[in-house]
């Protein structure tokens, strides 16, 4: 694992966006695995800015998103489909047919998971997968458990994840209790993984996930076994591992 330190969130975002932009420039038809949440917003803002300056072209880029809440329509402002269009897709020249996101409105979980697994297979592999990390070590919505989940699956969200997400909803009961997510096996198939982490509150899980044992109780720890992972984190997130770097 290669570690790149940013001074703060803004610096971390710029450094991570540089890695994604280099992927697009060197391989214009690359497949990007994309993530949502507060962590990647700064990255998307940088990418949009460079696109507006004619430094980036998304016309051949294909994307696959990590996850989507089950039961939220695309036009719900808390759906990940809405998020991606708000922060990136509506602001660059990516083609709608090249965008792939799990369908949160498909009630048949087995059917939707099989469909998305087929999408991932037919797209020919992810060139660069962007990831954040949850306070409990989850990546995507792969929650701590007894075994590493393999492919796309429907997951019951833990209380800690529901609590972390409730600030985005009017009431806690509005927070979805399930989500579709790419599995650990799908994530680990990516040729390159770009992990971004910001904030003092993530310092503990950084140490546990990347300097502790590989265990499904800390899903992100599996990334220790991938041969091309770049961790871009700010000083606060790295504050407990400075002596280990």
Q: Decide if 67 is catalytic.
A: yes
Q: Which of 127, 138, 142, 208 is catalytic?
A: 138
Q: Which residues of 168-207 are buried (b: 16+ CB within 10 A; e: fewer)?
A: eeeeeeebbeebbbbbbebbebbebbbbbbbbeebbebbe
Distance CA 123, CA 90 (A): 22
Q: Which of 67, 68, 81, 236 is catalytic?
A: 67
Distance CA 133, CA 168 (A): 17
3-state secondary structure of 69: strand
Q: Which of 136, 142, 151, 165 is catalytic?
A: 136
* C-beta of residue 63 within 8 angstroms of C-beta of residue 100: yes
Q: Decide if 138 is catalytic.
A: yes
Q: Which of 23, 106, 112, 143 is catalytic?
A: 143
The residues pairing with 193 across neighbouring beta strands, listed in sequence order, are 129, 229
Within a 10 A sphere around the Cβ of 238, how many other Cβ atoms? 21
Q: What angle do CA 99, 58, 132 make, to 5 degrees?
A: 65
Q: Decide if 143 is catalytic.
A: yes
Active-site residues, by number, are 67, 136, 138, 143
């Amino acid at each position: 694992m290669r570690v790149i330190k940013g001074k703060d969130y803004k610096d971390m975002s710029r450094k991570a966006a540089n890695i994604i932009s280099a992927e697009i420039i060197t391989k214009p038809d690359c497949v990007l695995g994309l993530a949502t949440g507060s962590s990647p917003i700064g990255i998307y803002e940088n990418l949009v800015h460079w696109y507006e300056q004619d430094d980036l072209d998304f016309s051949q880029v294909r994307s696959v998103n990590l996850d989507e809440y089950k039961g939220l329509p695309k036009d719900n402002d808390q759906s990940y489909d809405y998020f991606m269009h708000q922060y990136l897709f509506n602001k660059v020249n990516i083609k709608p047919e090249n965008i792939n996101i799990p369908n949160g409105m498909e009630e048949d979980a087995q059917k939707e998971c099989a469909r998305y697994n087929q999408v991932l297979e037919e797209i020919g592999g992810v060139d660069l997968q962007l990831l954040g990390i949850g306070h409990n070590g989850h990546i995507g919505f792969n929650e701590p458990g007894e075994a590493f989940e393999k492919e796309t699956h429907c997951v019951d969200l833990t209380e800690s994840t529901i609590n972390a997400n409730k600030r985005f909803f009017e009431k806690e009961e509005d927070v979805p209790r399930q989500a579709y997510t790419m599995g650990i096996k799908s994530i680990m198939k990516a040729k390159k993984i770009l992990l971004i982490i910001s904030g003092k509150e993530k310092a503990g899980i950084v140490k546990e996930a990347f300097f502790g044992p590989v265990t499904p109780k800390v899903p992100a720890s599996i990334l220790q076994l991938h041969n091309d992972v770049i961790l871009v984190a700010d000083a606060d997130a790295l504050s407990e591992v400075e002596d280990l770097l």
